Amino acid sequence: DIPSAPEEFLHRVARVGRGGREGFAYSLVAKYPQLIKLGGKSVEINENHYYSTLKQFSESNLPFMKIPGPWQDEEGPDETTLKQMEESKQLAVGIQQHKKELLEKIPHKNLKKMMTPNMRTKMKQHLKNEVEPKSMRAFKEGRYENVIQNFNEKKLKTLKKEGIKIPKGSVIKKKKRKNKGEERGW
């Protein structure tokens, strides 16, 4: 399993060669995105996406090798998974088309007044070419890390209600973000 954050991956790999010694770190990467049910939600884990993010982050060519052995390559997603992925893509394309139709209905004179320069450039890009629909990972509900965090929080609440004590440091809590005024010392 490849961590989603490149920093976590590099931290894990750096632990392999400790005390001035060299070591090797191997990560097994799935060929296709995996759809799993977690907390009653479908979550996409795309390890190839993590791998490409790591390559960009480390600015080096990470070797990608096939491990020899008696096993065979895993098969692609099954029919139900493919159907779910196709439906989500169709939904994303439908939403984009609907937005495009709504934009075309608004008189052009009024539209320019309502938009910031950044919005205008994005609209031009949308009108010129078709945009690739987002994967499930692009949405907060489809991110593995967020689903795990929510699942753990719910589990902790039920444990506390039942009177079970949880040792400090065994739970990773979300960092609360300060508002801008507090960060600047206002």
Quick: pLDDT tens for 83-105.
887 888 888 888 888 888 887 77
Give the model's confidence band at 69: pLDDT under 50 very low, under 70 low, under 90 confident, else very high: low
The reported pLDDT for the residue numbered 151 is: 72
pLDDT > 90: what percent of the chain? Answer: 0
The reported pLDDT for the residue numbered 71 is: 58
Mean pLDDT confidence for 114-132: 72
Give the C-alpha separation, 17 to 24, whole Å.
Answer: 7
Euclidean distance between the first and the last CA atom of the chain, given in angstroms as a whole number: 43
Question: Tokens 């507090």, residue?
Answer: 182
Sign of CA dihedral 6, 11, 15, 18: positive
Mean pLDDT confidence for 153-177: 68
Torsion of CA 119, 120, 126, 128, to 10 degrees: -160
Kindly report the CA angle at 53 between 73 and 144, in degrees rounded to 5? 75
- Scanning the chain, the segments in alpha helix (DSSP H) are 6-14, 47-58, 79-105, 108-114, 117-128, 144-161, 180-183
Would the pLDDT of 183 be above 60?
Answer: no
Q: What ranges do the domains of the chain cover?
A: 1-30+47-71
Render pLDDT for 4-63 as a digit per residue (tens, 0 to 9): 666 676 666 666 667 777 777 777 777 777 777 777 777 777 777 777 777 777 777 777
The reported pLDDT for the residue numbered 92 is: 82
